[in-house]
Amino acid sequence: MSGNGDAAATAEENSSKMRVIRVGTRKSQVSLARIQTDSVVATLKALYPGLQFEIIAMSTTGDKILDTALSKIGEKSLFTKELELALERNEVDLVVHSLKDLPTVLPPGFTIGAICKRESPYDAVVFHPKFVGKTLETLPEKSVVGTSSLRRAAQLQRKFPHLEFKSIRGNLNTRLRKLDELQEFSAIILAAAGLQRMGWQNRVGQILHPEECMYAVGQGALGVEVRAKDQDILDLVGVLHDPETLLRCIAERAFLRHLEGGCSVPVAVHTAMKDGQLYLTGGVWSLNGADSMQETMQATIHVPAQHEDGPEDDPQLVGITARNIPQQAQLAAESLGISLATLLLNKGAKNILDVARQLNDAH
C-alpha cells in the first residue's frame, strides 16, 4: 500500500517539475478554435510526453463584433491581435489559428512556426432542413444564401445568378442555428474543414469544387504562431510542419501578399502538387462577380521528406519559419505565387481589386 503511495507521490513530484507550455486560443467552449487547439496539443503531447501543456483561452475583437460583415471592419488581425499581445507579453508560448485568419505580413517579432497537414480546403453548402437534397443550382429562384465572405459571394453570384447572397456572422454553432431557426436563409456556405473538425459532416449537402468556387488562401490548414526569436518553441513546433501543405500555402500566401489582397477584396486560389510540380491557380473578382480574371502557373518543386536538413539561417517567407524544409523548395513556392500575382496585375487585376475595395468601403 505504502509502495503505491510513494509511486503516486513521485509521479506528482515529477509532474510539478515538468516544463509547462502555455497555448493560447480564442475563448468559447465547444468552438472550432478550441477543437483545433486541442487537436494540435494532443499531437504535441504524444510527441513530447515529458512536457505539460496548459490551454489559455481569451476573447478576440472578431469574437466581440458579431453584427458587422468581416470585410467591413477593416482590421486585418481580427481574430489574432489579442492572442499576439499575450504572446508578446510572454503569457503564452504558442497560438493555434486557422491559417486563413493569419495576415500574410505578421507584426514584427512573430512567425508561423508550423503549418499542420491540411484538411479539405473546399467550401461546403449546408441547406435549410426543407431544402435537404437540393444543390445551389436547384434551389428556387431568389433563394437567400448566407456567407460572411466576399470571395464566396462574388464567385457564386457569377455561377448562380438566380440566387441572392447575404452576410451571416457568428461562430459555426450560431450560423447553423440562424439557418435552421430563422426562415431567412435557404442555405449557408462554410469551410468544409471546420464542419469536419466539429464532427458535423452530416450537415454537408454539397461540396463546392474549384470550378464552382475556389478557396481562400490557407483554407483548411492550421498555423501555429510563436515568438520569432523563441528558438526553443520553434524547434518544438517545427516537427508539425507538413511539407506539401507548407509549400502550397507559401505559394498561396505569396500570391495574396503580392496582390495586396485581404478579406476586403475577392481573391481565391487552388493549389495541387503532382509529380514534382506545384500548380497554382489564382483569381480576382469584382464584388458582384461580373468582372473576373484567373490564371494558372506551375513550378517544379521537390517535396522533401520531413526532417531533411535545412539551412541554418531562419529567413521568414510570408510570415512562416520552416527550418526543417529545404529553403530552395520554399523559395520556389514563394516565387510561383509572386509570378502568378505579377501576371494578373499586368493583365489589369489591380483595377478589379481597387474598384472592389472602394465599393466595399462605400457600402
| Angle made by CA atoms 163, 261, 301, in degrees to the nearest 5 | 105
Question: 356 near 265, Cβ under 8 Å?
Answer: yes
pLDDT tens for each residue of 239-279: 999 999 999 999 999 999 999 866 678 999 999 999 999 99
Which is it for strands 144-146 and 187-191: parallel, antiparallel or unpaired? parallel
* Burial bucket for residue 162 (CB in 10 Å: 0-12, 13-18, 19+): exposed
* Model confidence, pTM: 0.88
In the three-class reduction of DSSP (H, G, I as helix; E, B as strand; rest coil), residue 224 is classed as: strand
Phi first, then psi, for residue 109 (nearest 5°) are 95, -5
pLDDT, residue 316, reads 85
pLDDT, residue 79, reads 60
Which stretch of DSSP H or E encloses residue 219? none
Question: 308 near 294, Cβ under 8 Å?
Answer: no
Task: List the catalytic residues.
Answer: 101
pLDDT, residue 75, reads 43
pLDDT, residue 312, reads 47
Cα radius of gyration (the chain): 22
**Nearest CA to 167 among 191, 198, 136, 144?**
144
> Residue 59 and residue 189: Cα distance in Å, rounded?
24
pLDDT tens for each residue of 178-228: 999 999 999 999 999 999 999 999 999 999 999 999 999 999 999 999 999
Contacts of 130 (CB under 8 A, 6+ apart): none
Give the mean pLDDT per block of 10 residues along the chain (363 residues): 51 63 80 92 97 88 49 50 88 94 91 97 97 97 95 95 93 91 96 95 97 96 96 96 97 95 82 96 94 96 63 74 92 97 95 87 72
pLDDT, residue 260, reads 82
Phi first, then psi, for residue 49 (nearest 5°) are -65, -15
Domains and CATH numbers, the chain: 20-120+217-362 (3.30.160.40), 123-207 (3.40.190.10)
